[in-house]
Amino acid sequence: MTIPSEQKRMVRALKDDVQERPPFWLMRQAGRYLPEYREVRKQSKNFLEFCYSPDLAVEVTLQPLRRYQLDAAIMFCDILVIPDALGQNVQFLEGEGPVLDPVRTVDAVSRLSAERLHEHLAPVYETISRLSREIPEETALIGFSGAPWTNAVYMVEGRGGTNCGVIRNWAEQAPEDFQVLIDLLVDSTSEYLIRQVESGAEIIQLFDSWAGVLSEDQFRRWSIEPTRRIVERLKQSCPGVPVIGFPRNAGPLSEAYVRETGVHGVSLDQDTDPEWIAKTLQPLCTVQGNLDNKVLVTGGEALDRAVLKILETLSGGPFIFNLGHGVLPETPPEHVGRVAELVLGWPGTGQGTG
Ligand code: CP3
C-alpha cells in the first residue's frame, strides 16, 4: 500500500500547495558524513561500480531515512554516469574526485554514442524500482541527472575545480561545434530521466552546479535552453511529474531560468537572499533551499538561527526546506537531526524567537 504521489508532502509543495510545515530533504543526504555509509562504501573499490550495484545503492539511499524523518529519498547515483554510459572514460580517484579523458572536438563527440545508454544504466533503473517499493509510504522518490552544461563541464575540462576556461572558450569560439555535445546531452538526459520516471521516480531534479560561471548570453544558451528542452520532453512523456532545477550561483538570472525553462521548482544556493527569493521567485514557482552547508557543520545557535530565518521568510509560500549545496563530509550527523527537529516542529519551533 502506498500513498498516491500527489498526496505526498513533497509533490504537493511542487504543485504550489502552501503547507503549514514545509517538506524537507537534503542534497547529498546519503554520503560520507554517515559512518554507516562509509562502512558500505568500503565494499566497492570503484565508485561507479558502487553506483551500479542496486543492493548497495538501495541500502545507502535508505540510511538517512532511518535516522531522520525526511520527506524525500534521492536515489543514490552520480551525475557522471551519463558520460560513462556514452563511452567516455570516467574515473573517481581517491581524494581527487572525478577524472575524465577530455572531449574537446566534434570528432571526439562523434566517438561517443547513446546506443547502449539504457543497457548501461539498467542498474540505476533497478535501484529506483526497488526503492519505490522499499521507502516509507509517505516519502517521495527523487530521480536526478546533471544538466547538460554541468555534465559538459566535467566532460570537457576532464575534472571539477577548474575555472572552466577550456569549455567556456570552446563554447565562445565554436558554438556550433559545442552545440553538438549539448544536443547529445539533451537527448540522452531526457531519455534517461523518462526511464527513471517509468521505473518509479516521482520527482526529477536537474543539477546545474556550474551554471554560475556563465555570462548572461551564455547562460541563456547553455543552461536555460537545454533545460527547457528537457523539461518539455518530460512534460510530454511524464505529465504530472514535477521537475526541480538547480542553477547554482546563477544569482539574479535565476528569475529568467524559472520563467523560461518551465521548471516546477527551483533550488537556490546559500548566497541567494531569502527575502529576494520570497519576493521574486516564490510568486513564480516553488522554491527550495537554502541553508548554508557550512553552518550545518558549525551547529549550535548559529544553526538554529539560520534555519528559523529561512523558515520565517519562505514558509508563507510554496517551499521545500533544503541546503544551498550538498551535505559536507565533515558534518556531524546530530546537526542534521537538529535541523529535522526544527523543521518538523515548525511553526511551533519559531515561537518565542522574536
Ligand atoms: O544523497 C544524494 O544526494 C544522492 C547522491 C549524489 C551523489 N552525487 C553521490 C556522490 C548526487 C545527487 C550527486 C550529484 C553530483 N555529483 C553533482 C551535482 C551536485 C553537486 O554536488 O554540485 C556533481 C557535480 C557530482 C560530481 C561528483 N561526484 C564530484 C565532483 C564528486 C567528488 C567530490 C566529492 O564530493 O567527493 C563526486 C563523488 C560522489 N558523488 C560522492 C558521493 C556520495 C563521494 C564519493 C565517495 O563516497 O567515495
pLDDT tens column, 155-184: 999 999 889 999 999 999 999 999 999 999
pLDDT, residue 296, reads 98
Which residue lies with its CA nearest to atom 34 of ligand 1? 97
Q: Which residue has the higher pLDDT, 76 or 1?
A: 76
Cell of 231: 523539461
pLDDT tens column, 195-219: 999 999 999 999 999 999 999 999 9
Could you tell me which of 230, 293, 297, 224 has the C-alpha nearest to residue 259? 224
pLDDT, residue 321, reads 98
Known catalytic membership, residue 116: no
pLDDT tens column, 105-139: 999 999 999 999 999 999 999 999 999 999 999 99
Mean predicted confidence (pLDDT) in 91-116: 96
pLDDT, residue 352, reads 55
- Residue 1: pLDDT over 80: no
Catalytic residue among 78, 183, 187, 304: 78
Q: What percent of the chain has pLDDT over 90?
A: 95
How many A from CA of 246 to the centre of ligand 1?
14
pLDDT tens column, 281-330: 999 999 999 999 999 999 999 999 999 999 999 999 999 999 999 999 99
Q: 292 Cβ partners below 8 Å, 6+ apart?
A: 270, 306, 323, 324
Known catalytic membership, residue 9: no
**Domains along the chain?**
5-345 (3.20.20.210)
Confidence of residue 354 (pLDDT cuts 50, 70, 90): very low
Known catalytic membership, residue 38: no
Could you tell me which of 278, 277, 313, 310 has the C-alpha nearest to residue 295? 310
Cell of 98: 572525478
pLDDT, residue 300, reads 98
Residue-averaged pLDDT of the chain = 97
